[in-house]
């Protein structure tokens, strides 16, 4: 596998940065500070962020990243999911951890981690993904909690985070496939409490964007902006925080609005638990082998 070294390197950085984020006391910090800090760590270690660091609080399961100068402050009662992506030349490692400064959530956090460990324990080439979904669901429900049914892990390819194949967090009848040797997959159970719906819905907030089409817009400024975005991010997601280094914020927002309207750029809405219950997440990126699996983000 030609690109194995890049995956191992991306995985090592992602893992170190995740642990860096996990072991800090984020209480009293703003989400801007945390995002910038974590992304700077990635760059310091020689990687590039594969997507804006996700800092999703409480009932937000995923896809929140700080806006420029985001004033949201982390409280000692919050549950914070930190989802980190690192790429080396487009080869991506994706990993997440949940932190809380209130010990009453620790059991929930441990359950997500255990579900992930159990899933990785059976993952190798030819493992049916329905078996992975089954073991994740079983582990979570055994402790009286619920998996989020409509969030899943995914295959990864160069410069593509969601490369088309889903790794379910529940057992489902019907379509399944087997893991392939030397393909790359993220496994990421999301867990909520038993009074949660176990389903997420799209929220109104959209802070993460990606290029959908490079078709010209007939608006010269918008075309230049699109070219700038392509040169910087290719098919990878980006945040307004990253753009305001080169563009004035008001101008960037207006150009982004134009590109969204013309469907050159799409936005990823935040995903919120249906009964507004706490959601926790754990995630690793793996490369299945014949008789075991390599966890590149261990
Ligand atoms: Mn992730
Ligand atoms: Mn992922």
The pLDDT tens digits of the residues spanning 98-115 come to 999 999 999 999 999 999
* Alpha carbon of 85 to ligand 1 centroid (Å): 6
Q: What is the pLDDT of residue 2?
A: 63
0.75 exceeded by the pTM? yes
* Alpha carbon of 22 to ligand 1 centroid (Å): 14
* Alpha carbon of 188 to ligand 2 centroid (Å): 6
Residues serving a catalytic function are 83, 94, 154, 162, 188, 283
The pLDDT tens digits of the residues spanning 11-28 come to 999 999 999 999 999 999
1 band by pLDDT with thresholds 50, 70 and 90 = low
Domains and CATH numbers, the chain: 4-202+275-295 (3.90.230.10), 203-270 (1.10.10.10)
Q: What is the pLDDT of residue 131?
A: 96
- Centre a 10 Å sphere on the Cβ of residue 235 and count the other Cβ atoms it contains: 14
Residue with tokens 């966890």: 295
Taking the C-alpha atoms of residue 25 and residue 34, their distance in angstroms, rounded to an integer, is 10
The pLDDT tens digits of the residues spanning 122-154 come to 999 999 999 999 999 999 999 999 999 999 999
Taking the C-alpha atoms of residue 201 and residue 68, their distance in angstroms, rounded to an integer, is 25
Ligand number nearest to the C-alpha of 184 = 2
Ligand number nearest to the C-alpha of 83 = 1
Taking the C-alpha atoms of residue 288 and residue 291, their distance in angstroms, rounded to an integer, is 8
Ligand number nearest to the C-alpha of 163 = 2
Q: Which two tokens stand for residue 143?
A: 């402790």
Taking the C-alpha atoms of residue 211 and residue 226, their distance in angstroms, rounded to an integer, is 8
* Alpha carbon of 152 to ligand 2 centroid (Å): 8
In order of 226, 239, 282, 291, the CA distances from 80 in angstroms are: 32, 19, 11, 35
In order of 96, 179, 290, 298, the CA distances from 118 in angstroms are: 16, 16, 18, 14
Percent of the chain at pLDDT > 90 equals 98
Q: What is the pLDDT of residue 172?
A: 86
* Alpha carbon of 14 to ligand 1 centroid (Å): 10
Q: What is the pLDDT of residue 55?
A: 98
Ligand number nearest to the C-alpha of 96 = 1
* Alpha carbon of 234 to ligand 1 centroid (Å): 18
């Amino acid at each position: 596998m030609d690109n194995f070294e890049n995956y191992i390197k991306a995985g090592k950085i992602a893992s170190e940065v995740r642990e860096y984020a996990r072991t800090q006391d984020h209480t009293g910090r703003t989400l801007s500070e945390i995002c910038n800090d974590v992304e700077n760590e990635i760059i310091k270690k020689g990687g590039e962020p594969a997507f804006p660091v996700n800092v999703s609080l409480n009932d937000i399961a995923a896809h929140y990243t700080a806006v420029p100068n985001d004033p949201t402050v982390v409280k000692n009662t919050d549950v914070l999911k930190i989802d980190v992506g690192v790429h080396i030349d487009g080869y991506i490692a994706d990993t997440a951890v949940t932190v809380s400064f209130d010990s009453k959530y620790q059991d929930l956090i441990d359950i997500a981690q255990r579900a992930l460990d159990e899933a990785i324990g059976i993952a190798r080439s030819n493992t049916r993904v329905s078996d992975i979904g089954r073991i994740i669901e079983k582990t979570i429900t055994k402790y009286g909690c619920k998996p989020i049914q409509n969030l899943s892990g995914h295959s990864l390819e160069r410069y593509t985070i969601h490369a088309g194949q889903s790794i379910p967090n529940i057992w489902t009848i019907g379509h399944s496939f087997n893991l392939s040797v030397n393909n790359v997959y993220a496994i990421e159970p999301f867990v909520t409490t038993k009074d949660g719906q176990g389903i997420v819905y799209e929220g109104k907030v959209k802070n993460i964007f990606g290029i959908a089409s490079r078709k010209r817009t007939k608006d010269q400024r918008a075309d230049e902006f699109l070219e700038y975005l392509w040169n910087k991010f290719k098919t990878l997601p980006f945040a307004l925080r990253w753009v305001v280094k080169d563009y004035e914020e008001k101008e960037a927002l207006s150009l982004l609005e134009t590109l969204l309207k013309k469907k050159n750029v799409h936005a990823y809405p935040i995903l919120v638990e249906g009964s507004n219950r706490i959601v926790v997440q754990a995630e690793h990126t793996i490369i299945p082998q014949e008789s075991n699996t390599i966890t590149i983000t261990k």
